[in-house]
Amino acid sequence: MTPHTVNPVDPPETVPVLVVGGSLVGLSTSLFLGRLGIDHLLVEKHPGTSHHPRGRGNNVRTMELFRTAGVERAIREAASVLADNHGILQAASLTGVEQEWLFKEIDPGGKLSRISPSGWCLCSQNDLEPVLLRAARELGGDLRFNTELRSFEQDPDGVTAVLWDRVAQTSRTVRAEYLVAADGPRSPVRERLGIGQSGRGDLFHNVSITFRAKRLADVLGDRRFIACYLTNPQADGALLPVDNAEQWVFHAPWHPERGETLEEFTDERCITHIQTAVGVPEMEIEITGKAPWHAAQRVAERYRDGRVFLAGDSAHEMSPTGAFGSNTGIQDAHNLAWKLAAVLEGWAGPGLLDSYGDERRPVAQATSARAAARSAEHRHPGYAAPAATGRQSDVLAVAMGYRYPKGAVYGTDPAESPVPERFAATGQPGSRAPHLWLLRAGVRLSTLDLFERHPVLLTGPEGEDWHTAAQHAAKRLSVPLDSYRIGNGPELDLAPEPGADFAATYGTGERGAVLVRPDGYVAWRATGPDSDPEATLVEVLTAVLSLD
């Protein structure tokens, strides 16, 4: 990070949160903070959002978060051209007979609709980022592109940062209570803090080539895939559709460890490589762009240094197979946003912010290992590692089943793995709150739609004691706690749809209760009545929100 002297005469601009980095994770952080009413400033050194189609897979958990944030529909509209693309195809060429679907459907049998109100979405980063940018600005976010963080210093009360306007060629000082670094895998903020990384390091390297080829759609016919791994030993790589018509992306293996340079990837070489890989040597191809990328397995040794937090690629790097990296980063942002809001608004203690790293770092470690294993299983072009032996967590368990054994939770087993072998929606503390369809005044909504701004206590029809205790505990602690009684009857707040069973789904029993955090994670659960429910809730809330 460039040294820069702060002029003590100029009064600094002040803001509660400074976000550094305006890619997917930084923009998501801005969106989530804006939804919670937290003033913030985002700076990004580039002139605008990404123009390169990458980071395409948005898993179900991420789409649930975007649903809550009010942008799911806009994202699906932006992604409509790829709505019918599913599965991963592996083939010696597109014209030969050696072809195999590694998997053909994202959701065979429609299982996801039973566990979530959302679904998987294939939306390239260059289409997704503008949606997030518009929504963040509509919520009042101050997002400045062509603006670079030059230096920062922190003290017990906040962070003083020097920003450089790359257009006006001027600097200004900003004083923030907290800084969120979403500044990528080579994070200058992380390096400035001296935070190390662990993991296997670089796994493989590719050059992402964007190109135009009108005849390729005819060659593909009705095959609509997310990606096709082409395995010709003379020209392997991964083919990805951009519009299923004439715009495409090809990931070509790159071997800098052998002395291969980016300059060697001339247009002529790239065209010949793609023609050979797809099996159509005479195909007309126009190269429109190239960008190197690196698959790695690294996790920061810590996610917090004083009032500075790491999120996204600055905190972790993952192999792209399974699209775990960007999703994990967006979920970092969601976890951190509500905690910053709670502390800034005064209904949680500063210690709550320690739980961010306690929760997210173990998830990143487990997820990055699973991503690397999946690349080996799929024999990703450029990656020569053997497939892992032994039982591996399924993709849904990694994408939606991750849990927090330690952190802002109560009554969990700290020794539990952050990622189970199989996904199960049980409502246990530390896990994602299960989806259940409800009716409120005739309007259909998911239980997940209840969770965003405040902690929520849910009880069954016989949980009146917990419901009353919640109101008293919230008043005693000055915590904005919402409470809903679920069941059939005019005196209850929400009715489950026919066939749905709240008590069974959440594991509360008929007279228990469950406390859900603003991020939709179960903080605590009671499976029955309590002799002093108010005292119990005060104890739980005090522990979860670090109010001591």
Asked if residue 407 belongs to a domain, the reply is no
- 268: domain CATH number is 3.30.9.10
**Residue 148 shares a structural domain with residue 56:** yes
Written as one string, the DSSP assignment of 450-519 is: G-SSS-EEEE-TT-HHHHHHHHHHHHHHT---EEEEBSSSTTSSBEEPTT--HHHHHT--TT-EEEE-TT
For residue 386, what pLDDT is reported?
72
**Residue 504 shares a structural domain with residue 488:** yes
CA triple 375-283-101, angle to 5 deg: 30
Q: Which of 382, 399, 416 is the last residue of a domain?
A: 399
| Distance from C-alpha of 486 to C-alpha of 472, rounded to nearest angstrom | 19
Rg (CA), the chain: 24
- Residue 388: pLDDT band (50, 70, 90) is low
Q: Which of 247, 275, 296 is the last residue of a domain?
A: 296
**Residue 43 shares a structural domain with residue 136:** yes
Cα dist from 459 to 38, 485, 505, 512, 528, whole Å: 30, 5, 12, 6, 10
Asked if residue 419 belongs to a domain, the reply is no
Asked if residue 7 belongs to a domain, the reply is no
Average confidence (pLDDT) over 162-179? 96
Q: pLDDT tens-digit profile of 8-52?
A: 446 889 999 999 999 999 999 999 999 999 999 999 999 999 887
- 535: domain CATH number is 3.40.30.120
Q: Cβ(243)–Cβ(81) under 8 Å? A: yes
Question: 338-358: b or e for each residue (b if 16 or more CB lie within 10 Å)?
Answer: bbbbbbbeebbeeebbbbbbb
Task: Pull the structure tokens for residue 68.
Answer: 């809550």
E strand or H helix at 91: strand 88-91
**Residue 288 shares a structural domain with residue 307:** no
Q: Cβ(297)–Cβ(372) under 8 Å? A: yes
Q: Cβ(357)–Cβ(206) under 8 Å? A: no
Average confidence (pLDDT) over 500-520? 95
Positions of E strands within 135-221:
142-145, 147-155, 158-165, 170-181, 197-212
Provide the percentage of residues in the chain whose pLDDT is more than 70: 97
For residue 389, what pLDDT is reported?
58
**Residue 164 shares a structural domain with residue 285:** no
Q: Look at residue 185 and tell me whether its pLDDT is greater than 50.
A: yes
Asked if residue 417 belongs to a domain, the reply is no
For residue 533, what pLDDT is reported?
97
Burial tier of 142 (Cβ tally within 10 Å: 0-12, 13-18, 19+)? middle
Is the whole-model pTM more than 0.85? yes
Q: pLDDT tens-digit profile of 223-242?
A: 999 999 999 999 999 999 99
Asked if residue 252 belongs to a domain, the reply is yes
Q: Look at residue 326 and tell me whether its pLDDT is greater than 50.
A: yes
Would you say how long the chain is, in residues?
548
- DSSP 8-state symbol, 56: -
- Residue 195: pLDDT band (50, 70, 90) is very high
Asked if residue 100 belongs to a domain, the reply is no
For residue 390, what pLDDT is reported?
58
Average confidence (pLDDT) over 208-228? 94
For residue 3, what pLDDT is reported?
47
**Residue 268 shares a structural domain with residue 376:** no
| Distance from C-alpha of 181 to C-alpha of 309, rounded to nearest angstrom | 6
Q: Look at residue 340 and tell me whether its pLDDT is greater than 90.
A: yes
For residue 168, what pLDDT is reported?
94
**Residue 237 shares a structural domain with residue 366:** no
**Residue 444 shares a structural domain with residue 508:** yes
For residue 495, what pLDDT is reported?
93
Strands of the 495-496 sheet, one edge to the other:
443-446, 437-440, 495-496
Cα dist from 232 to 96, 213, 275, 384, whole Å: 11, 20, 11, 14
- Rounded to the nearest 10 degrees, the angle between the axes of helix 324-344 and helix 60-68 is 30
**Residue 345 shares a structural domain with residue 485:** no
- CA-nearest of 69, 130, 88, 196 to 453 is 69
| Distance from C-alpha of 226 to C-alpha of 239, rounded to nearest angstrom | 9
Average confidence (pLDDT) over 498-503? 90
Asked if residue 527 belongs to a domain, the reply is yes
Range in 48-62, 192-206, 436-450 the model is least confident about: 48-62
| Distance from C-alpha of 312 to C-alpha of 342, rounded to nearest angstrom | 21
Q: Residue 436, Cβ neighbours under 10 Å: how many?
A: 24
For residue 377, what pLDDT is reported?
78
**Residue 24 shares a structural domain with residue 162:** yes
For residue 111, what pLDDT is reported?
83
* Phi and psi at residue 24, to the nearest 5°: -55, -45
- Residue 338: pLDDT band (50, 70, 90) is very high
Q: What is the dihedral of CA 124, 125, 128, 134, to 10 degrees?
A: -150
Provide the percentage of residues in the chain whose pLDDT is more than 90: 80
**Residue 170 shares a structural domain with residue 23:** yes
- Residue 62: pLDDT band (50, 70, 90) is very high
Instruction: Report how many helices (DSSP H) and strands (DSSP E) the chain contains, helices first.
Output: 14, 25
Q: Look at residue 323 and tell me whether its pLDDT is greater than 90.
A: no
Q: pLDDT tens-digit profile of 91-148?
A: 999 998 889 998 888 777 778 889 999 999 999 898 999 999 999 999 999 999 999 9
For residue 299, what pLDDT is reported?
97
**Where do runs of H (alpha helix) occur along 345-384?**
354-377
Q: Look at residue 288 and tell me whether its pLDDT is greater than 50.
A: yes
β-partners of residue 89 are 101, 228
**Residue bearing the bigger pLDDT, 393 or 505:** 505
Average pLDDT in the chain: 92
Average confidence (pLDDT) over 232-259? 93
- 174: domain CATH number is 3.50.50.60
Asked if residue 191 belongs to a domain, the reply is yes
End-to-end CA distance of the chain: 37
Q: Which of 296, 328, 358 is the last residue of a domain?
A: 296
Q: pLDDT tens-digit profile of 430-459?
A: 999 999 999 998 899 999 999 999 999 999
Collapsing DSSP to helix, strand or coil, 543 comes out as: helix
For residue 460, what pLDDT is reported?
92
β-partners of residue 175 are 14, 160
Positions of E strands within 186-339:
197-212, 227-230, 237-241, 247-254, 286-300, 304-305, 308-310, 316-317
Total number of domains constituting the chain = 3
Q: Which domain holds residue 484?
A: 437-544
**Residue 63 shares a structural domain with residue 142:** yes
Residue partners of 498: CB distance under 8 A and separation at least 6: none
For residue 4, what pLDDT is reported?
46
Burial tier of 483 (Cβ tally within 10 Å: 0-12, 13-18, 19+)? buried
Q: Look at residue 392 and tell me whether its pLDDT is greater than 70.
A: no
Pairing status of strand 482-485 against strand 513-516: unpaired
